[in-house]
Amino acid sequence: MMKKVFYLRLEHFFKIKFNFLTFSINYSIFLPWFCDWLFFISSAYFLNLSLFSFDNLLNESILGIKPERLAVS
């Protein structure tokens, strides 16, 4: 009986270690992508890149219309 309890505790211990290992592997894969997106968003915010806004890209590249021509006088 004691041997069975010991094996169950040992199995529980290795299960926890394995779950922690898979969690750390997933975290290490996810973290660089998150840092890249965070750097991109923060640099776009602090540099105020209005050139890359969606409206200007839509007007200039797809429609071929300059934003100055859309202004109402």
pLDDT at 61: 56
Number of residues that make up the chain: 73
CB of 60 closer than 8 Å to CB of 66: yes
Average pLDDT on 8-15 reads 62
**67 pLDDT more than 70:** no
- Residue 70, pLDDT > 60, answer no
pLDDT for the residue numbered 2: 55
Q: What is the per-residue pLDDT across 13-58, written as a single tens digit (0 to 9) for each? A: 666 666 666 666 666 666 677 777 777 777 766 665 555 555 555 5
